[in-house]
Amino acid sequence: MDSVAQRLSVVGAGAALELRGVTRLFGALAALTDVTITVRPGERRAVLGSNGAGKTTLFNCITGDFPPSSGTIRFFGEDITQFPPYERIRRGLRRTYQISALFPGLTVQDNVYLACRGVSRGRFSFLRPGQNDALMHATETLVQAVHLSGVKDQRVAELAHGQQRQLEIALALAGAPRFILFDEPAAGLSPTERRELIEILTSLPAHIGYIIIEHDMDVALRVVESVTMMHNGRIFKEGLPREIESDPEVQELYLGGGHE
Amino acid sequence: MSLLQSTQFRPDRSANATRRALLRAWPEFQNPVAWLVALILVIMPLIANGFFLIEIFATTLILGVIALSLMFLAGYGGMVSLMQLTIAGFAGYMVAVFGVSGNANISLGWPWWLATPMALALATLFGTLGGALAVRTEGIYTIMITLAIGAAFYYFTNQNWAIFNGHTGINTVATPHFLGVDWRTDIAFYYVTLGVAAICYFAVQYVSRAPFGLALQGVRDNSRRMAALGFNPNAHRIAAYAFAAFIAALGGVLQVWNYRQISPGSVSVGACIDVLIIAVVGGITRPIGPFIGALIFVLLRTFALDVLIKFGLDGNRFRLLIGLGFLAIVFWSSDGVIGLWERWRRRNTSSTQRSGGGRHG
């Protein structure tokens, strides 16, 4: 319309992630209804809501695990609505799963190596990586970053739950992520492991934005700058963490009602 | 644990690391049994006569190569394909069609060094196209589609006279003859099959730890997560079919050179299922499994007849023995004879460690 900046913001070039009117139907059930969200690059946001509010479905639509029934999704200005999941990942989107989705038959190192390989070239390479392979070094660094060096040659099936959650995060950090979706990363973690998780989240480079689904308010509200509240597949409220926390409607809906 | 860590700070640490990496990559290098088996295979012509060399060992190696292609797909990719023998048979037919045979009206008479690459290329293409169909399905439906391709090819060869010469097939297929050597004489042919089998075995072993093989195992374990890591799972599955098809095609070329003829009987549905039985009995977790399965299968097929007759039973019942063996394996060891062997060895090492103290520690 007027300035260049305004016109760009109209097509969403300024946003890391822009959802417009995203609806997802499962048969007659609307898991998401007309969801519109804009997230700036580097922004860190929590998505709250009770079970069945559509949080994980929202993630599945963004990554393409389930494409939306209608609406558009833009990632750094590019319309990715019709892209298969792997094309979205190659553009810098990452996600973790609520229930660890790892490769139990492979070692920790192989799991992380695959994540590094998936977002670089040579996915079909028939040549084994050598001693000085750059991706092997990247793998090593990532394994260290999530404190799994001691178990790197163990098969994932043999890991403890907390270690699997950490590996889940390592897989999402491979390559050069621009935006990450964390689906309940603290689920089932001990208090110590939660502190480590908060440390990992807060020490991510500033240009990496994320959306985190988290029931634990202590974790969620400490690592984000904005909050989106969902209810019955719709956006219910958006705001700063303290606004959401003190909002009477939100407390009625979510923080009260059975939750302590 | 502390012992292990302290050894890492010895001065020759990098040399040790290289050696460890090598041993991890090729575990058979430190296994004396593997060296012994390799030595026996190499000097086999000194020990065995022509019958054993070809009817037992070369046949085992050929069937092992074809079953190896299934092991690669099923073990690393989680895809049970019943068309691997069909691909091998297709390669065999192509050798006969493009090369020289007794059916001059069909064979084009190309020299072996042209006909063989042509057969390998066409069979790989055939397997890749079949794979592209099969990857749209999972589990039992993959089995059904590949079985359907196998059955369709069998009936097609039976009824097509222009290329496949119907139920009589193609006979007196010429075999390679160069450098002054007839490569179909018993000893030369044994070494050809041994060489091809060894290359296929090590290729599968190597690729299983290369990015392509690792990614395939990732697709097997969790294809949705692989897509969320940037991989295109179906492209990997189809590439796996192509690689396996090439291995199966090599087996098929050897097979047609071995029998010097090919007919629909060679690609029957029963023969397709035999390959599955060989791979499962041997074990689909490691590349050596199919060869062990093939040896058991060939020994039973060759000698069960005499044994059964000795016990006053119908000699044609050798399949009953194979079937019972198959049932026993499926019941007691889902990872085949290899699994039995590994569990037996683990029990042995743990008991010697308990009594004699840590030789390995």
B97-140 pLDDT, tens digit per residue, is 998 888 888 888 888 899 999 999 999 999 999 999 999 888 88
- Across the A:B interface, residue pairs with CB atoms under 8 Å apart total 100
Residues A37 and A110 in one domain: no
Out of A124, A155, A175, pick the residue that ends a domain.
A175
pLDDT at B342 over 60: yes
pLDDT above 50 (res B169):
yes
State whether A189 and A157 are in the same domain: no
Closest Cβ opposite residue B214 in set A65, A113, A119: A113
CATH number of the structural domain spanning residue A230: 3.40.50.300
Strand, helix or coil for residue A245: helix
The C-alpha atoms of residue B66 and residue B291 are separated, in whole angstroms, by 9
% of chain B at pLDDT higher than 70: 88
**Count of structural domains within chain A:** 2
Nearest to B239 among A85, A86, A124 (CB): A124
Amino acid type, B336: G
**pLDDT (average), residues A79-87:** 92
pLDDT at A12: 46
Which of A160, A175, A190 marks a domain boundary?
Answer: A175
Specify the pLDDT at position B184: 80
Q: How far apart are CA B295 and CA B64, in angstroms?
A: 8
Range of the structural domain that residue A251 is part of: 14-91+176-259
Residue pLDDT, tens place only, A101-118: 899 889 999 999 999 988
The per-residue pLDDT for range B40-83, each reduced to its tens digit, is 888 888 788 878 888 889 999 999 999 999 999 999 999 999 99
Same-domain check for residues A201 and A150: no
Nearest to A183 by CA among A214, A152, A153: A214
Contact between B230 and A97 using a beta-carbon 8 Å cutoff? no
Q: Give contacts of B212 with chain A, Cβ < 8 Å.
A: 123-126
The string of pLDDT tens digits covering residues B146-156 is 999 999 999 99
Has residue A96 been placed in a domain?
A: no
pTM: 0.85
Statement to judge: residues A243 and A115 lie in one domain: no
Does residue A73 sit in the same domain as residue A182? yes
Let me know if residue A117 belongs to a domain.
yes
Residue B236 to residue A124, Cβ atoms within 8 A = yes
Q: Which of B115-124, B194-203, B300-309 has the lowest mean pLDDT?
A: B300-309
Kindly state whether B217 is in contact with chain A, defined as any CB-CB distance less than 8 angstroms. yes
Whether pLDDT at A254 is above 70: no
From the CB of residue B102, how many other CB atoms can be counted at a distance below 10 Å?
14
Domains of chain B, earliest start first: 31-346 (1.10.3470)
pLDDT band at B28 (very low <50, low <70, confident <90, very high): low
CA–CA dist B93, A128 (Å, integer): 35
Residue A179 in this model has a pLDDT that exceeds 60: yes
Burial class (CB in 10 A: 0-12, 13-18, 19+), B205: middle
pLDDT recorded at residue A259: 44
pLDDT band at B330 (very low <50, low <70, confident <90, very high): confident
Q: How confident is the model at residue B355 (pLDDT cuts 50, 70, 90)?
A: low
How confident is the model at residue B12, as a pLDDT? 44
B209, B229, B235 member nearest A89 (Cβ):
B229
* ipTM for this prediction: 0.85
Pick the residue of A97, A114, A132 with the most B CBs within 10 A to test the interface with B by mutation: A114
Claim to verify: residue A216 and residue A236 sit in the same structural domain? yes
Question: What was the pLDDT predicted at B310?
Answer: 81
Are residues A80 and A184 located together in one domain of the fold?
Answer: yes
Residues of B in contact with A86 (CB under 8 A): 226-232
CB contact under 8 A, B231 and A65: no
Structure letter (DSSP) for residue A58:
H
- The answer to the question of residue A3 being in a domain is no
Mean pLDDT across the stretch A67-86? 91
- What is chain B's mean pLDDT, rounded? 84
Final residue before a domain boundary, out of A175, A195, A211: A175
Residue A157 and residue A86 share a domain:
no
Predicted confidence at residue B174, as pLDDT, reads: 79
Residue B107 confidence (pLDDT): 83
Interchain proximity B221–A103, CB inside 8 Å: yes
| pLDDT tens, residue by residue, A211-237 | 999 887 778 888 899 999 888 889 888
Residue A103 and residue B224: Cβ atoms within 8 Å?
A: no
**Between residues B208 and B339, which one has the greater pLDDT?**
B208
Whether pLDDT at B20 is above 80: no
- A118 and A171 in a common domain: yes
pLDDT band at B240 (very low <50, low <70, confident <90, very high): very high
A198 and A180 in a common domain: yes
Question: Has residue A9 been placed in a domain?
Answer: no
Residue A25 lies in a domain: yes
Please spell the DSSP secondary structure of A151-182, one letter per residue: GTTSBGGGS-HHHHHHHHHHHHHSS--SEEEE
What is the C-alpha to C-alpha distance for residues B325 and B278, in angstroms, rounded to an integer?
11
Same structural domain, A116 and A213: no
Judge if A170 and A182 occupy the same domain.
Answer: no
